[in-house]
Structures are given as structure tokens and as C-alpha cells.
Amino acid sequence: MNSFQFQNPTRILFGKGMLEQLGSSISAYGTNVLLVYGGGSIKATGLYDRILKQLQQIGAAVSELPGVEPNPRVSTVRKGIAICREQKIDFILAVGGGSVIDAAKAIAVGVPYEGDVWDFFMRKAAIQGALPLGSVLTLSATGSEMNGSSVITNWEENLKKAIGSIHAYPKFSILDPELTYTVPANQTVNGIVDTMSHVFEQYFSQTADTPLQERLCESILQTVVENGEKAIHTPDDYAARANLMLSATYALNGGMISVGMQNDWATHMIEHEVSAIYDIAHGEGLAILFPNWMRYVYRERIDRFVQFAVRVWHIDPTGKSEEEIALAGIQATRDYFTKIGAPSRLSDRNIDAKEVGRMAKETVRFGPVGSFKKLHEDDVRSILELSL
Ligand code: NZQ
Ligand code: ZN
């Protein structure tokens, strides 16, 4: 196990009725609030009215930034920064899924910066501070509610890049599983795939002697598999939604499940470049790419893939070679994604070989990606070609 530091400053308010705590949670930071939300789901579900009521109760002045896109765009972030400056906003409230929370974080770090916020994403400037922000989560998937990451698309340049900063952690996040009852089946599937993928990025590691972290990872994967189909088929199953929500939050909250382990993240970097050009949902891209990444790298450390197959997918190892067990685990992953309705090929989303070279090149813009196996441009191209 490697030495590590771990800090996660986000307060979590989890469970039915926690929305009632929203007003008092905000008033500690200020009452001039920017409310950030997406394409209208919060109005359709009635959540918007409940939020405004909470804000009224603390006498908040409210400005709004509606219309944050799935795969949120830097153009929208810039609008939010301008509103914050004009209105002298002192607290940002994100109400939505990962896209809305990520946009709110980018706004928060962009306000005190004199240059253009995109500089942070191109690694041209370091984040020095942020406006305080909080979130009300409506879709479990990204873990953005309890981490310091933000992933933003520059649509004009077809780039999708990430930042991570201690300044970008939400001060608090309200996680009421009931707010996810209205998430459509396909987005529930995307959330399941994303959560599992976050675990894969940490679990497939070259770091030795990390049994606790490995079991934490495996327990999240098993919990997601046990609850995923329940939530897809019975959207208002509270227990299933609650277990998925907690799993997603734990899967990517600043690395708690993989402290002291080297992480990979290559597949996420590749997926971001697919979304940057084709604007597909993040979970769809991961479902297509991850089993192919696994096939490409499993020989680098076959014992971890054997453990994954046996402990997570309950593959019977009797009479099988290590290679057969590892491949059976990878196939079980693909079969599960297919069973819950996720795509398995880029062609399922009308993506052909045309931009493969460009995506591979962009993935390695800042250097080779991954650590389980370090991937260069040619490797990335091979994984994308396997996925066509
Ligand atoms: O826009 P609205 O109308 O709100 O509709 C959204 C959107 O269309 C809808 N939705 C959300 N909650 C709902 C709901 N519909 C009905 N009822 C509800 N309760 O779902 C759609 C997708 O929402 P989105 O926020 O885009 O999904 P997700 O949470 O999966 O976020 C995806 C984004 O997060 C990034 C991805 O790259 C992508 O841009 N990621 C962020 C990470 C992070 N910050 O740590 C890590 C991830 O790996 C990921 O890269
Ligand atoms: Zn992800």
C-alpha cells in the first residue's frame, strides 16, 4: 500500500425528507444564491417549487441559470460566471445530476479567476479558490456530489476535459433517493455503468497489499449489481434507489475506496473524447469501451482479473486456467451491461472509424494515460478500433 493523504470536506444529508434542511444549510454561507439546473426535469417533477420554497424561507435573493446541457458546455459555464459577478452571488446551488453539479463547480472556480475558466481545463492555470457551492442530487452516477471534479465540454473545439480541486467540493449535498424515482430507465442504466466504471478505474491497480480497498471496491460492485435491475424495473423502489445512490457517491468521493492505490482512469479519458465529438451519454461510452479496455490490458496483472471474476461475478474457477477465468469475468461484465440495456459497440451509436485517429490523439494530449497499463496513442487507437 502506498502512503496517502485523504480529505473530504463535503457534508452529506442522506435520506427521505432531507430537502427540508436545504434553507438552513445554505444560510451559513450567504443568501444571494445562483440556482443552477438542467433542461427542465426539476420543473416537471415539482422539485423546483420545493427548492424555491426553501430559499424563500431564508429570505434568499435568487438568480437562475437554467438549461445546463448533459455533457455541460463551457459556454454555459461562462454565462454562469457572468451572472455571479453581476449579481454579486455568494452561494451556488446545483440541482440536478452530474452535469449540473459539474457546471456549478466550474462556475464556482471561475468567478475569482481573472482569465477564462477554460484555462483550468487546458492546464494553463491553477485553481486558487472558489465560491461556495452545494447540491441537491437528482441522479446517482458520477459522485460529483461528494468530489472535487468537474468535466466540461468545449463544443466549438470538440474537447471534453476535467479539473479536480479541493476548492470545488460541494459544502454539502442533499441525497434523497426519492428524488431519483423519475430518472428514466436509460439514465438509470448509464448511472449504473458509470458507478461500476469508477470502481474499475480504482480496482484494476498495480499497487500490492491493499485487501481492504479491494473488498470495498468489490462490495460496491456487488451492491450495484444486486440493486440495479430492481431500480430499472421498479423506479420507485426506495431501497434499490438508496443503495444505488450510496454506491455511486462512495464510488467516487475523492478516492476513499482506493486510498494508497494507484488509479488508472484511462477508459474515462478515452470516453471523454468520444463524448466530445459525438455528444453521447458518458455511461453509454463507458459501457462500450470498458470491456474492451479490460480485454486489452488483463494480462498485465491477471491475478486481479481472476479475483474480479470469482468474487464479483462468482465464476466457478474449477478446472479453468487463469486466462479462462479472467476472460469469463470480462465477458460477465459485458453480458451484464447488455442485459440492463447498455450499448456494446460504437456503431450502436452510429459512430464509425472516421474520427478514431483524432480521438486517440486528443486522449493523450497531456501524455500517456492509465497506470494499470500505460497507454500511448496507438494503444488508445486499438481500444477504439476494438469498440467499433
Ligand atoms: O437536464 P435535466 O432536465 O435535469 O435532465 C437530466 C438529463 O437529461 C436527466 N435527469 C436528471 N435527474 C433526473 C432526470 N430526469 C428525470 N428525473 C430526474 N430526477 O438526466 C439526464 C442526464 O443528466 P446528467 O446530469 O447529464 O447525467 P449524469 O449525472 O450521468 O452526468 C453526466 C456528466 O458528468 C460527467 C460526465 O462526463 C457527464 O458530462 N462526469 C462527472 C464526474 C465527476 N464530476 O466526478 C465523473 C464522471 O466520470 C463523469 O465524467
Ligand atoms: Zn464516469
CATH number of the domain to which 193 belongs: 1.20.1090.10
- Cα→Cα distances 375→179, 202, 265, 360, Å: 39, 16, 11, 10
pLDDT at 359: 98
pLDDT tens, residue by residue, 195-224: 999 999 999 999 999 999 999 999 999 999
Residues 281 and 373 in one domain: yes
Residues 267 and 242 in one domain: yes
pLDDT tens, residue by residue, 171-200: 999 999 999 999 999 999 999 999 999 999
Query: Domain end: 179, 199, 222, which one?
Result: 179
| Pocket residues: Cβ below 6 A from ligand 1 | 38-42, 45, 70-71, 96-100, 102, 138-139, 141-144, 147, 149-151, 179-180, 182-183, 187, 190-191, 194, 252, 268, 282
Helices 282-297/266-278 angle, 10° precision = 140
pLDDT at 334: 98
CA of 190 to the centre of ligand 1 (A): 9
Whether 219 contacts 250, CB under 8 Å: no
pLDDT at 232: 98
pLDDT band at 129 (very low <50, low <70, confident <90, very high): very high
pLDDT at 308: 98
pLDDT tens, residue by residue, 277-287: 999 999 999 99
Q: Please enumerate in sequence order all residues whose Cβ is within 8 A of that of 238, keeping only pairs 6 or more positions apart, or say none.
A: 16, 177, 178
Say which ligand is closest to the CA of 148: 1
Whether 42 contacts 69, CB under 8 Å: no
pLDDT band at 30 (very low <50, low <70, confident <90, very high): very high
d(CA 137, CA 10): 13
Count CA atoms closer than 13 A to 317's CA, side-chain side: 14
Nearest CA to ligand 1 atom 8: 70
d(CA 22, CA 11): 12
On whether ipTM exceeds 0.90, the answer is yes
Distance of CA 195 to the CA centre of its chain: 7
Is 187 part of any domain? yes
Report the share of the chain in percent with pLDDT over 90.
100
In whole numbers, what is the pLDDT of the chain averaged over residues?
98
Among 282, 286, 290, 363, the mutation site with the greatest number of ligand 1 atoms within 8 A of its Cβ is 282
Whole-structure pTM value: 0.98
Own/partner long-range contacts of 336-340 (Cβ < 8 Å, ≥24 apart) = 336/225, 337/193, 337/287, 337/290, 337/291, 339/229, 340/189, 340/192, 340/228, 340/229, 340/232
pLDDT band at 137 (very low <50, low <70, confident <90, very high): very high
Whether 287 contacts 342, CB under 8 Å: yes
**What is the domain count for the chain?**
2
Residues 89 and 198 in one domain: no
User: Residue 306 sits in which domain range?
Assistant: 183-386
Q: Please enumerate in sequence order all residues whose Cβ is within 8 A of that of 181, keeping only pairs 6 or more positions apart, or say none.
A: 235, 236, 241
d(CA 99, CA 138): 11
Residues 221 and 358 in one domain: yes
d(CA 363, CA 229): 33
Residues 242 and 270 in one domain: yes
Whether 210 contacts 262, CB under 8 Å: no
Whether 368 contacts 378, CB under 8 Å: no
pLDDT tens, residue by residue, 303-338: 999 999 999 999 999 999 999 999 999 999 999 999
Residues 195 and 121 in one domain: no
pLDDT at 248: 98
Report the share of the chain in percent with pLDDT over 70.
100
pLDDT at 144: 98
Say which ligand is closest to the CA of 76: 1
